[in-house]
A = this chain, B = another copy of it.
Amino acid sequence: MKIAVLGVTGYTGRLLLRLLAGHPAAPTILPVSASRAGTDIGEADPGFPEIRRNRLAGEGRLASHDEARRAGCDAVFSALPHGAAAARLEPFLDRSVVIDLSADFRLKDPAVYEATYGQPHPSPERLAGAVYGLAEWHRDALADADLIAQPGCYPTCTMLPLLPLLEAGLIEPGGLVVNALSGVSGAGRKAEIDYLFVERAEAMKAYRPGTSHRHVPEMRQELTAAATGADLLFTPHLVPLRRGMAVTTVARLAGGRDASEIPGLYDARYGDTPFLRRSAGPPPDSGDVRGSNRCDITWRQEGDRLMLFSVLDNLYKGAAGNAVQCLNIRFGLGETAGLPLAGEV
């Protein structure tokens, strides 16, 4: 099995490489970088383990996009930014299974894409065929998808607890209030003042609140597919962790329904996956899933309101981990293969 990873110098790209380099299916991996082709992996990621260099094509030299195309890969991951990703991936589509971690193939409606990302979609005809890679929710469609759009980290953490409840009509679809907290790696590896250590340590803020964050349209798309009329106010907050995400959601229970149905609804939809731990206990701690591919979920009823709490590691279950899970599903490799179940202590 041969797998290319485009954009290996960011946090998500590095993690993809490391996860794939330890994957039991032992794929041959092409690390690809347009800007740094020819560079040695040890320079691009000083934490990449020497002993895994034998898993890399080209002896650890970063390949160009052209080389990657010629290599005829079974699968291609892209950790390129939105906008760039769709164009860069075009030559790989129809030849390789593509798993894109950008926003480029998440939205079905090209008009919504243009309104959200400020530019027309370069290949709108591809949108209909892409499968939204929320692994536990779209597992069946993923099994034969050739173009997989990894969800944003916020949507993953927000929607995993919500979707089965919306679909079953347990909660009212409108008026959802979602507050989300994210570690700084969610912003990517960009040299911007706002993400400096000195700016972010000992500081926190809400940003792009209400309906102004770019992840709102993809959540609306998926939530309304589960329940007509679903809508939310969504407020992300930047907090001083490297990695981690915590979401607190308030919904209104549908008339006569209560939280006792929740375990059954989750079981029916999610089965016994090791990646979604859920209980009626106290809110989960993001530290308990740090470095794992898990999303821990709890809930609490307050009168006719339902509160949902979910945590994950934005680079693992919120990005690279979930992307590898999609690969596993697509190629029948065993859903947990190569993915950390326990996190860091």
Contact = CB atoms under 8 A, between A and B. Distances in A.
A303 to B, nearest CB: 9
Interface in A182-212: 183-185, 189-193, 195-207, 209-211
A215 interface: no
B291 A205 contact: no
A206 B14 contact: no
- Copies of chain A in the complex: 4
A207 B300 CA distance: 11
A51 B271 CA distance: 13
Interface stretch (A133-141, A150-158, A281-289): A281-289
A102 interface: no
Contact of A309 (B202, B209, B344): B209
Contact of A191 (B11, B191, B342, B345): B191
Contact of A197 (B51, B199, B235, B246): B199
A267 interface: no
A77 B108 CA distance: 54
Contact of A205 (B21, B233, B283): B283
Contact of A196 (B189, B210, B248, B311): B189
A285 B197 contact: no
A54 to B, nearest CB: 11
Contact of A282 (B191, B192, B207): B207
A40 B336 CA distance: 24
Interface string A149-186: 00000000000000000000000000001010101110
22 contacts: A21-B342, A22-B342, A47-B290, A49-B274, A49-B294, A51-B336, A52-B341, A181-B237, A195-B197, A195-B198, A198-B243, A201-B202, A204-B239, A204-B244, A204-B286, A204-B311, A205-B284, A207-B283, A210-B307, A237-B248, A240-B240, A291-B291
